[in-house]
Every structure is written in C-alpha cells, then in structure tokens.
Amino acid sequence: MIKGYRVAIVGATGLVGQEFIKVLEQHNFPVTSIRLLTSDRSAGKKLFVNQQEIKVEETAPESFQEIDIALFSAGTEVSRHFSPIAAQSGAVVIDNSSAFRMVAEVPLVVPEVNPEDIKQHRGIIANPNCSTIQLVVALYPLHKVNPIKRIIVDTYQAVSGTGSAAVDELTVQVRQVLEGQATIPHVYPHQIAFNLLPEIDVFLDNGYTKEEWKLVEETRKIMHAEDIAISATCVRAPVFTGHSEAIHVEFSQPMSPEEARHILAQTPGVRILDDPAISLYPQAWSAVGSDEVLIGRIRRDTSHPHGLAMWVVADNLRKGAALNAVQIAREMIKRNWLHPRAKNEKIRTITDSYGNPL
C-alpha cells in the first residue's frame, strides 16, 4: 500500500504554485491532504485540486503543523522567513527561491544529476534556478564521460520567469505596438514586446547580472565541479513560457556530435530533436507542458578542437521549477530519505556564506 503525504504549497496562486498543483495531479503524487498558502492579498480565493475546491489560506507559522512536505514558490523573503519555521514544525521544505541555494548546509538538487545530495538535507532542500536546471540536465551526462573544462551559455528566458505581472505586461505591450501606441514599461526597465533585454535581475560589480552569476555558482555546486570555467549572458525574450539556451562547451578530450547524441538519447528526462534537414530543433512553444529537456543543433564548435555547441529548451515553469521540486520529493520517498522530524525537534541553525543565521 502506498503511503500518502500531507503537502503544503506556499505561493499557490502564482504561476509556479499553479504548476505545482498540475504536476502533483498529473504525476499521481501520493497526497493525503493539501494546504494551499499565499499572501494576505490572495487569501480566500478557491482553487481546484483533484476536482475538489480548496480555499487558499494566508501563510502563517501555524500553517505547517502536521505537514510532511512544503513546496515553496513565493519569493526569497517569504522563503527566508517561513522555510525554517516549516522545517522546525516537522516538514521537509523544497524551496524554489534563491534564498538557500548557495548555503553550504542546504542541498541544491536536480534529481537527474545529483540525487545523492538529497540525503544530506537538514529540513530544507533548494530547487535550482530554472535556467540552471536545463543546463545541467543537458551537460552532466556528457561531463561524466568526458569532463567539461569550460561552458559559455547565452539564455533567452521567457517572461513567465518573472511572474504573472510580466506575462500581462507582454500581452498589453504587444497589443499596444500593433495598434501603434506607445508602451510604458512597469515590470521591466524597457519595452519587452518585440524586444530583447540583456538584463535579468540586478547588475553586480563584475558587470554580470545576478541571474548570470546564479548560473555560474549553481552549476558548479550541482555538478560538484568547482573548476569548470563558466561565462553566461542572460537575456529576457518576448516569449510567454519556455527558456532557450545556446551552449558552447569545451571538453577535456574531443567528443563528436554523434557520441553526444548517443549519450543524451539514453538520458532520462532528455529528448533529442535534431534534424536540420527538416528544420527539426527545440522551440520554446513546443516545450510548454513537457517534462523533458529538449536538445538539438548538436554540432562541433569550430572555435575549439574539444568543443561542441548545442541548443537546449525547457518549460521554465515545469521542469525549471515545479516538476523538479516534485521529482526531489519523489526521490526522497523512493530512497526513504524524507525523514520528517517531530514537531519542535531542534534542527541545526542554517547560516549564509558569512555565518549569519537565516
């Protein structure tokens, strides 16, 4: 008999929160009860889960009593405040924000890459950035065969990665441009309709954006490869859903496109779409709703004898967020690593990289 679990979704009314609900239903996750949590602004709304109408509650410290798994998608500040509370209450937290990703004591997990890291959790597990997830799913199987020395990646990221307000802004701006009206950006610093913005998150002192630096640090942590040289340029694209990446990778030894295709074709969670003769390659719109990371245009990088280039696309709300978190929960259950603690059991204080409590 399959055991059921008591699940809470924090940020249930957001784009990722709603994707959590879809993924749990579509993957028949063993849920015995579900609690939908949100901010005070959205509390009181009703959402359907498995054909049952459930009222959304305001997130509070007592919300996590008798919860086994807490899925967080409500932003960094909410995660920083409520994740330790949820863990202290006995739940295992899988957090989709950037709050804990680079904290040494918190596993940062993509189940196809580093499932063994889950075992080290102390109540909180971090879900990586959406663009990082598809990057490591595509590259790690190749890295295991032929260690990677250098990665150059340019991302073209959908507006849904910013949230529903950005989706609305793109919709409005497209209509305004087509009707010859001026646009007034609110979510982004410039017009996003019919445009590309090489600015995601804030700029750092080194000239990179925070989003670009996440790709660098998270990839190294997940792949346990601190020596890989990585450079990223992250671009916001006028696409609703589906992140695309142009990847150039340098291996320790030469690798042919045919060998790479053969390895990736056997990799769980990957689908190869690669036939230039019929214009077959991954596209953002076709990735929507897919559990898989789509890979195509695998070819030699003519700038380096050990290099390959490829094009990688994934649904940023699904594999880039909700699905990956649910897969982490599945892996915990399969390996008997869930280990919910008794309420109020002491857990070690989680600190940031400077030793400050979170």
Burial of 40 (0-12, 13-18, 19+ CB in 10 A): exposed
Distances from the Cα of 81 to the Cα of 2, 8, 84, 356, angstroms: 33, 16, 7, 14
Q: How many whole angstroms separate alpha carbon 137 and alpha carbon 113?
A: 7
What is the bridge-based pairing of β-strands 243-251 and 307-314?
Answer: antiparallel
Q: Which helix (H) or strand (E) holds 212?
A: helix 210-223
Active site positions, annotated: 130, 243
Helix (H, G, I), strand (E, B) or coil at 342: coil
Question: What is the number of alpha carbons within 13 Å of residue 114 lying toward its C-beta?
Answer: 26
CA torsion angle for 11, 15, 19, 22 (degrees, to 10)?
90
